[in-house]
Amino acid sequence: MTSNHNISHFSTAKKIVFALFTVSCFLLLPSASFAGFRASVVKVDITPSNSQYLLGYGPRKSESVYDKIYHRIVMMDDGITQFVLISSDLALVSPSEYDKVAARIQKELKINPVNIWWTFTHTHSAPEVGPPGLPSVFLGDRYQHDFDKVYTDMVEQKLIDGIAEARKKLAPAKLGTGWGFASANINRRARLADGRITLGMNPDGPVDRRIGLIRLEKEDGSLLTLIANYAMHGTVFAAITEISADGPGVVAEYVEEKLGVPMLYINGAAGNIAPLYSQLDAPNGKRVIPQFKVMLGDKIIKANKDILSMSSDVKLRSSAMTVETPRKAGMGWTNDMANYTRTTKEGVNLVKLPVRFLKINEDVAIWSAPLELFCEISNEIRDRSPFPYTMYFGYGNGWLGYLLTEKEYAQGGYETTVTPYSPRAGQDLTDAVMNYLQGEMKKP
């Protein structure tokens, strides 16, 4: 494991000089730096006007639009750190696509990439964006076509324009955090009589039904936006040829209609979690998808009502580290992903897995990775975390495959065929994140 935190060692005298210098620098900062906590939200339509290859299931082109897809963007500013969280109604993008966009944002808007989190709801009925990245290694036959560069350019530009708009709209705000619960999902690794694992439903399997909720209010106490974190594959629909935000998008739109403000749906550790009703058992997704408004949407609204403590005294601290873990034997790689692997002197191929952290005051710890993570891992980390509110934001800043527990890896199944990791990766990640939460993140 490597970290981007460099600890400098000063003598006592140097520490005193450094402290005095730091204080003097803060005193000389413009008063705007101490304007207090501010936030904003922007919703941008990215529905294509022409037919697109849809990502999820087999290759197919869209013929119509079932519901629109969006970037939803929240910006938070504590006077020192400007943090951007994006939820896009897309299945996923390659980390190289994230790197490209983050570099543009840094150049044009001067926001450090460590403060840019681009997450994806993982709907399986939205267009491809950018090069396929790692999926082309697993599913090469699926990518016998070029991605649409015009549509990708549009998605990128609308994201950058949306962030610029969010910055202009920053206004004094308050923040509160809470938990909710919804039974809208189910473990999808079905056990067959002969011991095989297949995609289906496993009511006895591990699941995460916790809703993590962040509420942002305007200065006058009216609602600005909600950030709802819930683990659920975007697979209510089967391989339809209609563009759709699927279950996550339908839930977000419903909450928005009820509350009158945008809501960011942030997927969780959904690697082994399906929607309760999905393409596997209900091919007629149009019949069952409205039920998620009640099963999940109403539960989010209830959790929002239960948040009673709001504060304008908000401090943000973002950070990042890289977890290195062995790559699966014989696993290939793509050229655009060269920054996410390395080979040791002993010839061992490693995956360089980027993990992001956001600490809000002293009670909220959020971590994110470009993974379809099995829920047992995020559940364990949340249970062991020293922070009362610990959340995992999945599909963050790209996609680097499924990451399973060692136990589930040994059981086999579809997910083992689309993971770049060895069986030990789950423990490597758990140990690294827990050490960071209990160590670096606990520092004032």
Q: What is the pLDDT of residues 201-244, one digit of tens each?
A: 999 999 999 999 999 999 999 999 999 999 999 999 999 999 99
pLDDT tens for residues 363-409? 999 999 999 999 999 999 999 999 999 999 999 999 999 999 999 99
The pTM assigned to this predicted structure is 0.91
Query: Is pLDDT above 80 for 102?
Result: yes
How high is the pLDDT of residue 280? 60
Query: Is pLDDT above 60 for 49?
Result: yes
How high is the pLDDT of residue 281? 55
CB-neighbour burial class of residue 123 (10 A; exposed 0-12, middle 13-18, buried 19+): buried
C-alpha distances in Å from residue 42, one per residue of 14, 76, 145, 283, 374: 45, 12, 33, 34, 31
CA-based nearest residue to 120, from 137, 139, 146, 95:
95
Residues 6+ apart with CB under 8 A from 425: 325, 326, 351, 403, 404, 419
Q: Are 72 and 264 in contact (CB under 8 A)?
A: yes
Per residue in 62-100, is it b (16+ CB within 10 Å) or e — as a string?
A: beeebbebbbbbbbbbbbebbbbbbbbbbbbbbbbbbbb
CA-to-CA distance for 437 and 444, rounded, in angstroms?
Answer: 12
Run of H or E residues at 127: strand 126-127
Query: Is pLDDT above 70 for 15?
Result: no
How high is the pLDDT of residue 3? 46
Per the prediction, the chain carries an average pLDDT of 92
CA-to-CA distance for 154 and 69, rounded, in angstroms?
Answer: 13
Reduce the DSSP state of residue 426 to 3 states and report it. helix
Query: Is pLDDT above 80 for 1?
Result: no
How high is the pLDDT of residue 19? 42
pLDDT tens for residues 37-46? 999 999 999 9
Residues 6+ apart with CB under 8 A from 292: 184, 236, 247, 250, 251, 275, 277
How high is the pLDDT of residue 24? 38
pLDDT tens for residues 355-364? 999 999 999 9
